[in-house]
Structure 1
Amino acid sequence: MRAIIVEKPGGPGALEIAEVGAPDPGPGQVRIRVAAAAVNPVDAATRSGALADAGLMPPIGSRGPIGIGWDVAGTVEAVGPDAARFAPGDAVIGLRDRLDVPLGAYADAIVLDASAVARAPRSASAAEAATLPLNGLTASQALDLLDLPSGSTLLVTGAAGAVGGFAVELAVQRGLRVVAAAAASDEALVRGLGAEWFVPRGVHLGDAVRALVPGGADGALDAALLSVAALDAVRSGGAFTAVAGGPAVPVPLRGIAVHNVWIKADGARLEELSALVDAGRLTLRVAGTFPLAEAVKAHERLEAGGLRGRLVLTAR
């Protein structure tokens, strides 16, 4: 079968197509025939060696080629012992949350722990469904860390992005009042997702938010990695969660509880998100599709920026 691998870090051209044997599911695992795999910034950071440089994984090539891709949508084709919740033929989505593995979601098939897999939304295409696991779970788990009670105000930066868009919708469903920060051209989009207030890019974020919410927002979900600029918009004693590590996580000034969401696979939560899609309460956005063999072109488009939604690699 085909798989996209990286042997040496570099630009999009570092992605290679390799012929590998189909993996067998072990205890508690399922093998999924991949119909679609989302293309995420973390894939580019893995390919380039940035994650290895940050100490999040061994250097690429030190233990052989690594696979690329976290999000998958497809069909179960084999089930290992103790994975009876799924059967061959089930349409599923799943998340591969390990970095240093020889096969990722950019492949014809992938083996995942059954606990990382959920039934796919019935109302979505495979390409649409593949955009949900990583970004939907990141938004949901970030909101868990913030732990804001209903009626609280929440700033979401990067609100038009993949994580930010899910965060706006999920926050509103938790009873939060959302201040969305995004490009001016995205105002209609984020208001359509449920944001009550809007702050355009290019203004002083702290002052703009405080003009809308006196004293500052109760919390911030910083999907745009604005760090201290977003922290400044939070009231003293509030909460802040960044969706990346390093300098994106600011010092907890003014008694603000600062967190960093490190994504983990969660099939049960993913099942809930899938149900929200079918209920029309969660929006899936595909920015474009490429066949698996054109993964290099997909990464080139990702690095060009300006996307709304996720690019997706498809089986054909």
Structure 2
Amino acid sequence: MRAIAYETYGGTEVLSETRLPVPKVGPGEVLVRVKCAAVNPVDWKIMAGGLDAMMDVVHPVVPGWDVSGTVERVGIDTPEYAEGDEVMAYARKDYVHGGTFAEFVTVPVRALAHKPASLGWAQAAGLPLAGLTAYQVLTRLGTGEGDTVLVHGAAGGVGSLGVQIARALGARVIGTASPRNHERVRALGGEPVAYGDGLAGRVRELAPDGVTVVADFVGGVLDVTREVLHDDGRHASIADPTVTGSGGEWMWVRPNGGDLAELGRLADAGRLTVTVAETFPLADAAAAFALSQEGHTAGKIVIEV
């Protein structure tokens, strides 16, 4: 099969298109014929060696954890899926090796969900990692009716989904973003505030009694969180482990097919959409990584396989 892979840590120069065997399909797995795979910052951070202390890596590495496609073959004991099913997944495994930037990838059933009919292939590939991150942070914090949620990074890949999910859970949402992205935050259902000096005061103008939930998707904002959080509030960060010293939770997303299916239901109900900023063919994966590293795209970057 065609795949993008790297043999050693480094920058985009270590990526190359190659041929690899189609992966074996173990019990409780399915083989997915990849339609699209999304780029996430963690992909190039792993490639640079940034997670070497956390996860075992087996070279050559095919990067990519997000995928949409069709079931090509099922392993033993997979009654939930059949050949031809349209699916999506956050396909992270226990070690880094066989990812989604390839014609085929194996996915454990526990990570898989049926693709929502309302999303195209590129949108479905862009939903799993970012959507699950936002969903799991907000639900673990017990977000619901009556809450006022502050989303740090509301125009980003995770934050834009977080705004929509928090609204679907019944909460009011205040979202930090640069002024050029305020209309986008409003369109998603949030009340935008500009980040930077004076942010806590601007949030307090909208929520004089403080916010009840803070979802930090950018890092470096703990002081603001402390200033605006209600005495009984809850907060979590995906980017700042020091929140644990202030009563918050430091979280990292888990593959979960049930949670992903719920996101699919929200999409089909018209309550969740995924913005795709740009698509690239498989052979241009290095260019897709380079664009992601710039950090300025308003939407997902997707590889079309």
Q: Would the TM-score normalized by the shorter structure come out above 0.5?
A: yes
**Structure 1 position 270 matched with structure 2 position 270:** no
Instruction: Name the counterpart of 2:299.
Output: 309
Alpha-carbon distance in 2 for matches of 1:262, 1:129: 21
**Structure 1 position 18 matched with structure 2 position 21:** no
Listed as ranges, the matches of 1:212-223 within 5 Å are 212-223=206-217
Equivalent of residue 283 in structure 1, options 267, 270, 273: 273
TM-score by length of 2: 0.95
Instruction: Name the counterpart of 2:193.
Output: 199
**Structure 1 position 68 matched with structure 2 position 63:** yes
Listed as ranges, the matches of 1:178-257 within 5 Å are 178-195=173-190, 197-232=191-226, 233-246=228-241, 249-250=242-243, 252-253=245-246, 257=247
- Report deviation, 1:13: 1.5
Alpha-carbon distance in 2 for matches of 1:6, 1:122: 34
Tell me if the contact between 1:10 and 1:49 (Cα under 8 Å) persists in the aligned partners.
yes
- Report deviation, 1:137: 0.6
- Report deviation, 1:245: 4.8
Equivalent of residue 297 in structure 1, options 270, 280, 287: 287
Alpha-carbon distance in 2 for matches of 1:97, 1:234: 33
**Runs of 5+ in structure 2 lacking a partner?**
none
Distance of aligned partners of 1:204 and 1:98 in 2 relative to their CA distance in 1, 3 Å threshold: farther
1:225 partner letter: G
The superposition leaves residues 164-201 of structure 1 with CA deviations (integer Å, 9 ceiling, x where unpaired) of 11111111111111111101111111111111x32112
2:214 partner letter: A
Instruction: Name the counterpart of 2:42.
Output: 42
- Report deviation, 1:74: 0.4
Tell me if the contact between 1:38 and 1:130 (Cα under 8 Å) persists in the aligned partners.
yes
Alpha-carbon distance in 1 for matches of 2:225, 2:83: 47
- Report deviation, 1:99: 6.1
Alpha-carbon distance in 2 for matches of 1:16, 1:283: 32
Distance of aligned partners of 1:83 and 1:99 in 2 relative to their CA distance in 1, 3 Å threshold: closer
1:56 partner letter: M
Equivalent of residue 161 in structure 1, options 156, 159, 170: 156
SS in 2 for 1:150: coil
Deviation larger for 39-48 or 7-16: 7-16
Identity of aligned residues (%): 38
Tell me if the contact between 2:3 and 2:102 (Cα under 8 Å) persists in the aligned partners.
yes
Instruction: Name the counterpart of 1:145.
Output: 140
SS in 1 for 2:35: strand
SS in 2 for 1:144: helix
SS in 2 for 1:76: strand
Equivalent of residue 56 in structure 1, options 54, 70, 75: 54
Q: Please, what is the CA RMSD of the aligned residues?
A: 1.6
**Structure 1 position 97 matched with structure 2 position 95:** no
Instruction: Name the counterpart of 1:171.
Output: 166
SS in 2 for 1:7: coil
**Runs of 5+ in structure 1 lacking a partner?**
none
